Amino acid sequence: MRCFPSVLVLALLAGGTAAQTTLVFPPVFKDHAGNAYHSYLFRSSAVMANRQARFMEVNDLNLSKATPIKSMAFRWYAGLNFYYHQSFQADLELTLSTARTTGATVSSIFAANAGKDATVVIARKKVHFPPKLTYGTFPNPFRYKLFFDAGKTFTLPARKSLCWEIKVYDNDLYLKHSNVIDLDWAVLSSSAYSYMDYGKGSDAGNLMYRYYCAIHYSFIPALGPRIYGDCYSGPAFGKAFAVIGLDKAPGGGISIGPLAKLYIHPGRILAVTGPYNLNYFGGLHVPLLDIPNLPAYLGAKIYGQFIALDSGFKNIYGTNGRIIQLPLWSSTAGKNLGMGYVYMHGPQAFISSSGSRGVNTGVVVQFTL
């Protein structure tokens, strides 16, 4: 029996599994969730015209050298992780080119943005997308992959903007009892924030819902950033406390009684506020915490939940946990995301010369280089 030298084996393995470089655009959303969502690309409807769309986006990639782009991917908006959908297919076509405009100067006329080197990297066909799962990560992974056709790449010249255009002729979401696919979206805003729920609330006697919390962000001009809290379906007329921290509890939560879990890391708790009086429906809405209006808090992640006692102080209940990602900018003056889009839906999208236009906003994309 003959064996290959180990050096040769390693070389063969390296050659067969060449490392792929990925680039998230806009780059600030690589480690931050998108601060908005849209379903422009994949909508569910019994009417075919409502499932058709044409979407073009210009991204100012400005790479240092000419770079082949090998595939693209989108991700689900984390704030809607409580929605599920089955796998689905979309009949689509994808074209890439060197943009003749930039993200800031994108034109509402489709042809004015696309370059002369336009390349169809996915010829019209049905593309399969995976089911929506509970990922447990924030932001979500890029699971909606657009793998280019065999042998197809697009080389973007150095210091140029990319124009990509996707035409969606149909999808089968309406057959899957699914509504829409809400993709992670970027918007240049000093008030937009992101969130994601995790864990599961206690059964507090409500026949339809578990004890649920929603932690929100708001900017009060006279006070600055403020965290608000809502909870629903808790113990009627009970007493509730809000727990706010900087990390979630390990291992899927820490049991604090037969009916409740603590979803905030006990060593990373910022504040416990309350007690608050729950109403007949086990709910409330209260301001919880003021956040310093400082650069260090931009994009910071805050974790929160409610813990409650029933009116007889016999049982303890807990809500789900929620992560909120604070806004990424305190001011957007002079800032530029380097992206813009043009959109049209319905069968007229494929023959219309123009569509609705947006600047400093668009789909968060991952490119494989």
Regions of the chain with pLDDT less than 50: 1-17
Burial of 251 (0-12, 13-18, 19+ CB in 10 A): exposed
pLDDT for 135 equals 62
Give the 3-state secondary structure of residue 268.
Answer: helix
pLDDT for 27 equals 97
Angle at 77 between CA 105 and CA 362, to 5 degrees: 5
* Best CA proximity match to 91, nearest among 51, 55, 150: 51
Give the C-alpha separation, 91 to 42, whole Å: 10
- Cα first-last separation, the chain: 41
Question: What phi and psi values does residue 15 have, to the nearest 5 degrees?
Answer: -70, -30
Beta bridge partners of 215: 229
* Best CA proximity match to 337, nearest among 72, 106, 96: 106
Give the C-alpha separation, 186 to 25, whole Å: 9
Residue with token string 């390990």: 250
Sign, CA dihedral 131-132-136-139, equals positive
Report how far apart, in Å, the C-alpha atoms of 42 and of each of 76, 165, 179, 289 are. 12, 14, 9, 38
Burial of 237 (0-12, 13-18, 19+ CB in 10 A): middle
Q: Sketch out the chain's domains with CATH numbers.
A: 21-188+336-368 (2.60.120), 194-325 (2.60.40.10)
155 CB neighbour count, 10 Å cutoff:
12
In this structure, the strands spanning 339-345 and 316-318 are: unpaired
